[in-house]
Amino acid sequence: MSNGFMWMLIVCGTIQTAMLVALIVYLSFVFATRRWLQTTGTVITSRVVSRTTREHGANSDLTNTPLVQYEYQVNGKTIRGDRIMIGGGKSETELERVLGKYPLGAKVIVYYNPADPQQAVLERFSARTLCGCGVLMLFPFGVPLVAIGIYNLTADWVSAAWTAAPYAVCFGGVGLAILGYALILIVMAVRASTWPTTRGRIDSAGVDTITSLDADSSDRFKPSITYVYEVNGRKYRGGRVTVAIPLSSNISWLSRRTLAKYPVGTLVDVHYNPKYPSESVLHPWTAGHAVRLLIAAGFLVLAWALAVPQ
């Protein structure tokens, strides 16, 4: 057994152990709720909340999450809670399920900790969350083992190709990577183009400055555009203009040029996922799809030209 393989097992084993400990701790909290008492409560808030996470002073992600608040009484004292379950119930993928299950004014069963009635949940167990934890446990060993299998199958071919034409391998690898990314975006665009549309409005538009931690590097700029729209009586906030990840640049006027297309208050057509309306985009198709394919084709043609004997 090689030293590299041994170190990989040690690293993966360490990660697996840490994840197992975290899972055990999480399950201990989940199963502790089975001993909690129950009472009835009333939902006093049930709506969508938009949250923006920030990284180095720049908007990095915008999500729509459910906010459900409920009131219940313990020993004659009225208490307000907002936890759905231990470690869950507030993600973007659970938004429709949670808000649909707990509408405003609904009577609910509240499970509370008799030792501390402020600790309460509406759901004590989620099989979906447990299955997700089980899948995550496979990652530390599953991903490296798949990578090793691919390497063993292609190592001889890659080695021979590198010896014969190293530049062709480099350009070909870059071309395949760009082609793979382009095809993923095309699949996403095809999917988004079939979504229904609704009218939305540009709510904010500005330039985010990403401050460099390196004193020798300049700041980078990225356009930040948010829009509001409504589906089935619920208001959502979106930030995706295209299916591609917005790129930052050292040139601020590129971001300002993008913003000029979307002044605040402009009405826009919003494509939204009918299953998860919080997922949306303004333009499924852009010229960038063709540009990426052309760049990938250029690298692959160059790799072929370098690989073919002259």
Look at residue 259 in the predicted model and tell me its pLDDT.
84
Which residue, chain included where needed, has tokens 């069963």?
A: 109
Per-residue pLDDT band for 34 (boundaries 50, 70, 90) equals: confident
What mean pLDDT is reported for the chain?
85
* Ranges 78-87, 119-128, 137-146: which has the least confidence: 137-146
8 A C-beta contact, residue 148 and residue 141: no
Whether residue 2 is predicted with pLDDT greater than 90 in this model: the reply is no
Query: Domains of the chain by range and CATH?
Result: 3-128 (2.40.50), 196-283 (no CATH)
Q: Return the C-alpha torsion angle 156, 157, 161, 164, nearest 10.
A: 60
Look at residue 163 in the predicted model and tell me its pLDDT.
78
Closest CA to 62 of 222, 180, 221, 194: 222
Condensed to tens digits (0 to 9), the pLDDT of residues 197-239 reads: 999 999 998 887 776 666 556 777 788 899 999 999 999 999 9
Whether residue 39 is predicted with pLDDT greater than 90 in this model: the reply is yes
What percent of the chain shows pLDDT beyond 90? Answer: 48
Condensed to tens digits (0 to 9), the pLDDT of residues 43-62 reads: 999 999 988 766 544 445 78
Q: pTM for the full model?
A: 0.79
Closest CA to 81 of 42, 47, 49: 42
One-letter amino acid of 290: A
List, in order, residues 6 or more apart from 39 with CB less than 8 Å away. 72, 73, 74, 109, 110, 112
